[in-house]
Amino acid sequence: MKNNTKLNSIMHKAVSSAKVLAATVMGTIFLASCDQLGDLDGVIPGGGSGGNNSKMKMYKVQLNPLNNSGVTGTATVMMSPDGHFEVITDVEGLAPDMVHPQHIHGFVMENMSDKDAMCPPPSAAGDDGLLTLEDGLPFYGPVLIPLDDRLVPLTSDNFPVATSAGTISYGGKVMTNSLVSAFDAMHNGTQTVKDLELDKRVIVIHGAYVINNRVVPASRNPSPRRYMATLPVACGELVEMK
Ligand SMILES: [Cu+2]
């Protein structure tokens, strides 16, 4: 009997210890899960817990031809609210040795969520068949961020010049807070990092030789061709990588 009591006591302690142990294990597992999510946040930009403003966001862009230009490419946009805003574009099929303006386009609406910018369909071209900068505006909206040598200020400065092979590899980088300040000043003064709403923007590449309202390859050399620096030649929508 005495032994039983002692045994009961030991059992009770053992059960209590087991409960504590179980709680500890559960806690450890929970903490481990959080740690893993934390790691994922580091590995996958914007991934994991979501909605955390301090995390970097990454957007991929597939650039497809406009105006049958044959211009294709990719772009990557990275933004860390507490760090840098960075854009990389890799484009090919461009008119060689010519300047090619490139921008992030979109709509900024006041006091409401911004309208989603999109790449214009071929039917956006007027009767002349040429899809001009103006023809595309209802679809991709005005220029928001010129992808030039400085990014900020948001005025167009020096745009990249294509290589003799018709390619551009561009990289632009600026502090995110300076971009947001410039964006703020240019629009309604209520913009925040969130209001950049990059997932509603597109990138448009411009510049091509044109004859009779058609884009012609640079290899053709008849005199009436003219270089239209503003003509849209490729476009792609920003898609957030999660
Ligand atoms: Cu543009």
Q: How many helices (H) and strands (E) does the chain have?
A: 3, 10
Q: Please give the pLDDT value at position 15.
A: 39
Residues 25 and 106 in one domain: no
Nearest to 87 by CA among 167, 152, 184: 152
pLDDT under 70 in the chain at which residues?
Answer: 1-54, 110-112, 188-195, 220-223
Asked if residue 224 belongs to a domain, the reply is yes
**CA–centroid distance, residue 236 to ligand 1 (Å):** 11
Residue 50 lies in a domain: no
Distance from the CA of 27 to the center of ligand 1, in angstroms? Answer: 53
- Look at residue 23 and give its three-state secondary structure: helix
Q: Does residue 48 sit within a domain?
A: no
Backbone angles phi, psi at 35, to 5 degrees: -60, -40
The answer as to whether 16 is a domain residue is yes
170 and 67 in a common domain: yes
| Together in a domain, 150 and 89 | yes
CA of 111 to the centre of ligand 1 (A): 25
Ligand 1 centre to CA of 230 (Å) is 7
If asked whether residues 12 and 99 sit together in one domain, one would say no
> How remote is the CA of residue 137 from the centroid of ligand 1, in Å?
9
Q: Does 49 fall in a domain?
A: no
Q: How many residues belong to the chain?
A: 242
First-last CA distance in the chain: 65
Q: Quick one: 102 and 196 in the same domain?
A: yes
Rounded to two decimals, the pTM is 0.76
**Do 62 and 15 share a structural domain?**
no
Distance 56 CA to ligand 1 centre (A): 25
> Are the beta carbons of 134 and 144 closer than 8 angstroms?
no
Helices (H), 96-219: 133-140, 176-186
Ligand 1 center from residue 223 Cα (angstroms): 27
What is the rounded CA–CA span in Å between residue 86 and residue 240?
A: 14
Q: Are residues 144 and 113 in the same domain?
A: yes
| DSSP-assigned beta bridge partners for residue 74 | 62, 90
Does residue 29 sit in the same domain as residue 92? no
Any idea which residue has 């230009």 for tokens? 69
Total tally of structural domains belonging to the chain: 2
Domain assignment present for residue 22? The answer is yes
Nearest to 108 by CA among 28, 200, 23: 200
Supply the range of the domain harboring residue 236. 57-241
CA 95 to centroid of ligand 1, rounded, Å:
16
Same domain (yes/no): 134, 168: yes
Query: pLDDT tens digits, residue range 144-191?
Result: 999 999 999 998 889 999 999 999 999 999 999 999 888 888 876 655
Provide the pLDDT for residue 185.
Answer: 81
